């Protein structure tokens, strides 16, 4: 486990991959201030092996972006 302060994030987006000839969103992608990236693949529930679907990714993106805006004020 490691700490990653909000100040170290330049941009938050969704990560995509090709699956059966289609481009799908599968994870959260963080562009870091040091030039690196961090990709987190949310799960449907803690301890479950299933990736979160498109709807849950969209909700997470809105929540993270909203939190970031609140902290920047």
Which positions of the chain have pLDDT values less than 50?
A: none
C-alpha separations of 57 from 21, 33, 42 in Å: 21, 23, 8
- Token pair of 22 as six digits: 């289609």
Q: What is the pLDDT of residue 41?
A: 87
Predicted pLDDT of residue 70: 81
Q: Give pLDDT, residue 49.
A: 84
């Amino acid at each position: 486990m490691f700490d990653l302060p909000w100040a170290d994030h330049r941009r938050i987006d969704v990560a995509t991959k090709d699956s059966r000839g289609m481009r799908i969103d599968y994870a959260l992608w963080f562009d870091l201030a040091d030039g690196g990236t961090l990709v987190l693949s949310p799960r449907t529930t803690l301890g479950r092996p299933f990736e979160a679907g498109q709807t849950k990714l969209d909700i997470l993106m809105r929540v993270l972006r909203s939190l970031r805006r609140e902290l920047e004020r």
